[in-house]
Structure 1
């Protein structure tokens, strides 16, 4: 059965953890779906993972739509969330509604994700009121990299922790059904989670959450440019692939490929 909002909240109520994988194409989405991953996030992390950029700021609305369409073709049951890119929702309330509506309408995704807290609460409320489910994202927010300077833990200082509390409450009150906490101290995550009405998802925020999200290419070891502390690699995929490519090259150079069995008579 396809995963929906009721399914996800039932998991929260039962204390069953929710799994989310961020990925960007048909084949990886299909693999996630086939093993029962609950949600797939088409993240703007495609800027670094797919495009090879230093950050996510260059990702366009058209690119998110394109990659979300690819993901949707590989999914039968997972709940798909599309990440709204930088400046696709910050310009005005009207533009935010228009762009989020376009993503849902053109891709068939189940929800959108926005970065920010109090400052986007009105947008979240408007989207929710017209039937667009919203995922919030606070803590370290990659679209604010020019403010942070570099990836950092957010919430260690008292003023940061208090801002996160206000942001979390603002998003919940506005109707965000899910809130992602990125690079937040475990103790603060636990505090927010224990009082939460929304589904709380962690990435570098400790285990006191309703679930976890990681990038597909990190999980299987395909992305080697950098490895955040919170990433666990379950496969050294890049090493395996490079070994296969070396073997292919050697077989071509030595004349072992193609063989008679791999040729037409």
Structure 2
């Protein structure tokens, strides 16, 4: 009798574990984050939907479940912080269809490449298709967005900029008169931003460790090794300067997530300047 109870308990535990893995890997949640800034007026609030590390994964039939959630949050702008595809992706139809659906909802879509796009042999073809869909590619570029009569600066670096030194040239264009949002697939970019007037950095890349352990959290993420400092969430990289790492929606290498559900983020920036 005791053996039977142990067998049943073991089987139920395994089923529960598998169910949790399936849920975390295939059901996307929307994570809300709020930042306050004295660089915008009190009545000037902006919402940003961040999508990161999709890795060409599809949620539901043609992303319908994901698209419904994105419609619901109704963000002012959408930013995609890299690894929209995988380095081995050759067929871009699914992701371009998804981007086209995003464009129907929002005309302000900004994108920077991640390391997987930069390693993809068909990168130029992919970027051309994104541009044709109306996505603004911010690799090593800066632009301005008018929001409620105030100007916001958006900057971005490509997935290989930290290796080739392009970031130094870009930082010369930081405008300290405006709230500045900086897009970088790799969170380690903040090491190069010391002393600048950049207010908020949005990144991905880490997948939050993808598989996390109880109590311990993430064991390893790319570029940081064991027990990383930057894995997911909010960090202050310099006094008053913030980094937010979205743990992403897709997977790489192992096609599973655990204790780290697939997500997109809705970021609310609230002005408090009198």
Flag the structure with higher helix content: 1
Query: TM range, normalised to the smaller chain?
Result: 0.3 to 0.5
Which structure exhibits the higher relative contact order, with contacts defined as CA atoms closer than 8 Å and separated by 6 or more residues? 2
**What TM-score do the two structures reach when normalised by structure 1?**
0.40
